Structures are given as C-alpha cells and as structure tokens.
Structure 1
Amino acid sequence: MSKMTVEVVTPERVVFSGEATMVIARGVQGELGIMPNHMPLVTPLKIAPVRVKTEGDKEVVLAVSGGFMEVRRDKVTILAETAERPEDIDVNRAKAARERAEKRLNERHPDLDVRRAEYALQRALTRMQVSGK
C-alpha cells in the first residue's frame, strides 16, 4: 500500500511526524479523507479529532484546535493552533474547561463573548473525546 508523509505542527512543537496511509480531518466544509496522491489542496480545519492511519491498521488520534491542512501528492502538513496526543491531555483540566464554558453559555451575561465560549467548549469536548474519557 502506498504511503505519504504526515506532519502535525503547532507553534511550540512537532506533535506527529511519520508515514501514513490515510488522514481523516474535519475541514470547514466537512470531513476529509486524504490518501496518498490526493489532489493538492489547502483548507482551514475545525476543532475536531484528526485521525492518522499508519501501517498495519494502527491509528494515531490527535485533538486539533483549528489551523490549516496542506495536501501535496506525497505529504500532508497540518499547521494547528494546538494539537495533543491522548497521553498529553489532562482530562480533569478538560472537564473543568467544559464546565466553565457550559456555565458561561447558560448564564448569557450581556458582556459574554459567545464565540469564545463556544470555542472553549468545543476544544474541551474534543480533548475529552480524544482522551477516551
């Protein structure tokens, strides 16, 4: 089976770098499945898990918070605002962030930045989903 190089990079570090047979990510217009020799594209990403399928039916799942994905024939690069592997996620912190965001959205103070609260909630939910908790 053919492979491609995949890199997931944040401003702080390289979170994943390796060979893959497929990348599944959620772009702003829907879910994308990228395989080797895919047509070139650049797309913004939503806050959602990114799945990298590697050799032998193994899968690496990352919690990605926004950014962009660039696809070239043999390489996929994800430039993410944040990206975390399941073992790097502090589940208690993610739960607390979810509770804070839900509380803010339920109270609806006049000075509430709704978009920011929704962003925080989605990021916390994605982190919890990827961590498996």
Structure 2
Amino acid sequence: ETVGSVRRGRTDTVTVTATVPANYNYYVDGALWSDDVLIDETQGVANLNPRETISADETVEEVEFAVEDFERDAGEDGVAERPESGNDGGGTDDSTPGFGPVVALIALASAALVARRRR
C-alpha cells in the first residue's frame, strides 16, 4: 500500500487485508520507503495454527503443508475448479507453450534475410 506525503512529526496508518488459509503461521513484514530508500522495516507474525506458534525472532523450519489450501477460486465444496484444457480428457497435454522448432527456424531465417537486406 502506498502512503502519500506525511508531514514531519505526524504519523499515518496503513491497513492491508490479506486472505490466507487458516491453521498456518505467517511472517508479516512491513517496510517504510522514501524515494526508493529503505527508511525502516519490521517483522511480525500471524499465528493462525493453534497447536504450534512462532515468534518474530524464531528460526524458520521446514513444515509440510497442503497445496490445496493455497489454490484460488475454490467452489462451494472447497475444491478449486480447473480451467478447461481443450482436450477430451483422454490423456495429458505434454506440449510446452510457445513456438515449436519449425517456427523458430522460420523466424531465424526471416531475421537473417532482413539483416542481409539492410546491409
């Protein structure tokens, strides 16, 4: 969140809302910048896991988590809807996005012809 100018000796409060899955603990960082210069920063925690809490000065440890908890656009049943892939569901799409090798060769040949023509 960006704050406008704050006069000397005055304060301003910024409120930010984030929606995160429950039963996890989070580190929350805040930073104060002025003209791309870091003035001050602080760290806090949001303990949403009632069985295990963390503090701001604690070392981070590896924990298991469920990826499903962090998926977007979950339906009423809590399961995220998958976008239509365009295939009939009979297999997986192994192609990668972008141009194929034939299109890449045509593009390189075209670029070489244009460069040669400009000389």
- TM-score scaled by structure 1? 0.23
The structure carrying a bigger strand percent of its residues is 1
Where relative contact order (Cα < 8 A, 6+ residues apart) is larger, the structure is 1
Q: Which has the larger radius of gyration?
A: 2
The structure carrying a bigger helix percent of its residues is 1
